[in-house]
């Protein structure tokens, strides 16, 4: 055996005497690093408009630029920042670019970034009220503020305006997927109890429903919650309902399942579907589901933000009769990822399925019933201080500025829609809702798009050519069996001249294709 084995304590003491101790939270380093990081963020936002929106890199590019083995020794922070600028940034798709029109926006703001920074620095883990009282209460407050802006009934609030305890409440989760999953689990357990099932033995009889325009994450969450894929009903939609869920078709499907001895359990209605921004009729869907005591969840991830404006609030009419609703301020309310707000009308239905109560987390506050431990409204136990950035955004900008932000984006989308309608080579495929325009080169617009099939190929080529320029980024979907381009307005840096420039690029590229 060597000398280190003979006297390890002495060997370590000799080693430590010659080495500067490692202090990862040295206050001077924190200040220095953050100043450099803030300078990077400032430079990034000042220059992002000039960067290619979609990077021209190939898979595996980064491994060729950065060392493949972890560094064995420390390096100055400036080295990491240099590699960030030279290797990482050129491979980024710039969602912050004002020329980003794909998917839905991922909005941000100075207040949200500051809130995220401070929350990360505090690094609190707020699984129970006692573990982080202010973090829990600020999240509750921010959620109740947002519920008031959305015009949700008091039953969805943690605290009513009058100061009393509501029957329901909210929690901030990471994504809509999580909101769907936890409510599916609660609905599953309620249906099993209602049907007299012993444990989960009756789960094969439970059925769930959504329109065929519903986000694919719903069908994934259903499988994770244990529902038989054969019992997941995708209700067809069509142009006659602007691709929204038809309550008559929903009733027909639910009644057929009930007649066959199955148990209708959960219906997902969407306000602002990803493909076409279709809106399912919330109140009518709730009325149908009530016949079968099925849980109704409203996915308003994107368009829920618009409902803080009175002129869009009607899209949530009937929400008082649903069991849960979620919306994501990280999409359109200037609060950076991740921030999905889930509200439930009866908190106990959710916590009854998700609650954990190990001895090491027991405390007087939880036992008193005066607080809701947010760990019991999510899949995991640990949780970040998500409420700070949402509160920062609302506290800093106020209702008027938030509404101005939504209305400005909708107005810019209307400008784009009018430009499309003014060019007879194009068509708007579905009526515009909110700030998404679904359009395409129409069949018959020229030899390159003579038939519907030709038009599909022409639109695919148009999208690819646009995105390769780096001057704009658009995405696509399929609506009514046809390839359609999606133009989503809402990037935080976007102004009307960006929308008009994108349209000029679309026109120019289309002309080049057709000549």
- Asked if 289 and 281 count as a contact pair (C-beta separation under 8 A), the reply is no
| DSSP single-letter state for residue 316 | G
Q: How would you class 358 by CB atoms within 10 Å of its CB: exposed for 0-12, middle for 13-18, buried for 19 or more?
A: exposed
- Phi and psi of 511, rounded to 5°? -60, -40
Read off the tokens for 5: 């084995």
**CA dist., res. 362 & res. 350, Å (int):** 19
- Asked if 352 and 177 count as a contact pair (C-beta separation under 8 A), the reply is no
Q: Which residues pair with 221 in a beta bridge?
A: none
Catalytic residue among 44, 61, 209, 360: 360
Angstrom distances, CA of residue 418 to CA of 459, 488, 503: 19, 15, 11
Task: Please identify which residue in the block is written with the tokens 């936002």.
Answer: 45
CB atoms within 10 A of CB 228: 15
- Asked if 440 and 427 count as a contact pair (C-beta separation under 8 A), the reply is yes
**CA dist., res. 232 & res. 217, Å (int):** 13
- Asked if 353 and 186 count as a contact pair (C-beta separation under 8 A), the reply is yes
- Asked if 226 and 257 count as a contact pair (C-beta separation under 8 A), the reply is no
**CA dist., res. 331 & res. 274, Å (int):** 12
**CA dist., res. 125 & res. 119, Å (int):** 10
- Our answer to whether residue 243 is catalytic in this structure is no
- Asked if 439 and 428 count as a contact pair (C-beta separation under 8 A), the reply is yes
**CA dist., res. 329 & res. 106, Å (int):** 9
**CA dist., res. 118 & res. 309, Å (int):** 30
DSSP string, 184-237: HHHHHHHHHHHTT-STTTTGGGEEEEEETTS-HHHHHHHHHTT--GGGEEEE--
Angstrom distances, CA of residue 72 to CA of 19, 25, 397: 15, 20, 46
Beta-carbon contacts of residue 515 (< 8 Å; ≥ 6 apart): none
Beta-carbon contacts of residue 259 (< 8 Å; ≥ 6 apart): none
Phi-psi region of 320 (alpha: psi -120 to 50; beta: other; left: phi over 0): alpha
- Asked if 323 and 296 count as a contact pair (C-beta separation under 8 A), the reply is yes
Q: Among candidates 77, 107, 155, which has minimal Cα distance to 345? A: 155
Q: Which residues are the active-site residues? A: 360
């Amino acid at each position: 055996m060597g000398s280190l084995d003979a006297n390890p304590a002495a060997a370590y003491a000799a080693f430590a005497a010659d080495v500067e101790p490692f202090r990862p939270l040295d206050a001077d380093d924190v200040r220095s690093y953050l100043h450099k990081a803030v300078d990077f963020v400032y430079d990034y936002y000042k220059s992002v408009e000039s960067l290619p929106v979609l990077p021209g890199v190939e898979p595996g590019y980064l491994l060729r630029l950065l060392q493949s083995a972890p560094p064995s020794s420390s390096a100055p922070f400036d080295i990491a920042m240099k590699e960030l600028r030279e290797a990482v940034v050129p491979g980024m798709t710039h969602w912050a670019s004002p020329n980003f029109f794909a998917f839905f926006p991922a909005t941000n703001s100075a207040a949200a970034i500051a809130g995220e920074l401070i929350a990360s620095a505090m690094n609190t883990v707020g699984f129970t009220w006692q573990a982080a009282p202010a973090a829990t209460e600020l999240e509750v407050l921010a959620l109740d503020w947002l519920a008031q802006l959305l015009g949700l009934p008091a039953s969805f609030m943690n605290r009513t305006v009058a100061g009393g305890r509501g029957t329901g409440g909210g929690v901030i989760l990471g994504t809509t997927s999580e909101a769907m999953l936890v409510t599916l689990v609660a609905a599953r357990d309620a249906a099993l109890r209602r049907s007299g099932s012993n444990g989960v033995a009756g789960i094969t009889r439970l059925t769930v429903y959504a329109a065929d325009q519903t986000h694919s994450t719903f069908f994934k969450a259903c499988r994770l919650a244990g529902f038989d894929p054969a019992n997941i009903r995708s209700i067809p939609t069509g142009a006659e309902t602007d691709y929204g869920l038809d309550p008559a078709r929903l009733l027909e499907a639910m009644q057929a399942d009930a007649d066959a001895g199955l148990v209708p359990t959960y219906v997902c209605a969407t306000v602002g579907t990803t493909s076409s921004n279709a809106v399912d009729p919330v109140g009518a869907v709730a009325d149908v589901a009530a016949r079968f005591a099925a849980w109704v969840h409203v996915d308003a991830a994107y368009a829920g933000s618009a409902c803080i404006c009175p002129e869009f609030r009607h899209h949530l009419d009937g929400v008082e009769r649903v069991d849960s609703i979620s919306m994501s301020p990280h999409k359109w309310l200037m609060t950076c990822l991740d921030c999905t707000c889930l509200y439930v009308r009866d908190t106990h239905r959710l916590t009854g399925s998700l609650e954990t109560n190990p001895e090491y987390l027991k405390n007087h506050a939880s036992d008193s019933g005066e607080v809701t431990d947010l760990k019991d409204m999510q899949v995991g136990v640990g949780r970040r201080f998500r409420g700070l950035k949402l509160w920062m955004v609302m506290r800093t900008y106020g209702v008027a500025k938030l509404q101005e932000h939504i209305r400005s984006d909708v107005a810019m989308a209307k400008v784009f829609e009018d430009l499309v309608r003014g060019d007879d080579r194009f068509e708007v495929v579905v009526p515009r809702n909110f700030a998404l325009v679904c359009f395409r080169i129409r069949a018959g617009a020229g030899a390159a798009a003579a038939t519907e099939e030709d038009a599909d190929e022409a639109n695919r080529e148009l999208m690819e050519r646009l995105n390769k320029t780096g001057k704009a980024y658009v995405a696509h979907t399929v609506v009514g069996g046809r390839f359609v381009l999606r133009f989503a307005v809402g990037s935080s840096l976007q102004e009307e001249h960006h929308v008009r420039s994108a349209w000029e690029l679309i026109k120019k590229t289309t002309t080049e294709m057709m000549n």
